[in-house]
Amino acid sequence: MIGTMTPKQLEANQGNALKSTGPKTPEGRAVSKMNALKHGLFSKEVLVRGLNGKENRRELAALHERFWRQYCPVGPAEEMMLDQIVTAN
């Protein structure tokens, strides 16, 4: 009986769906936009912000500085690669 729904359950689900309009406030939208985040590979955001995950901007800057000092990138290509290494962590 897995996967089957009674007409009563279907009607209840459809009624509930009409009440679901998503987040209304900017705060709620900011939280919900991170719901599907699995990893940061294709993320437009460098730092994760949300109820369960808040990355620290200072920690990221410190990590970036340590990598910069260690590898001393020369030119825009090396700088871009260093940025990708830091943000992929």
Amino acid (one-letter) located at 47: L
pTM: 0.44
Instruction: Answer yes or no: are the C-beta atoms of 5 and 13 closer than 8 Å.
Output: yes
Residue found under tokens 């290509």: 77
DSSP letter string over 35-64?
TT---STT-S-SS--SSS----HHHHHHHH
Given this model, what pLDDT does residue 9 score? Answer: 92
Mean pLDDT, the chain, whole residue set: 80
Per residue in 50-69, pLDDT (tens digit) is 555 666 778 888 888 999 99
Instruction: Answer yes or no: are the C-beta atoms of 47 and 87 closer than 8 Å.
Output: no
Given this model, what pLDDT does residue 37 score? Answer: 63
**How far apart are the C-alpha atoms of 33 and 27, rounded to whole Å?**
10
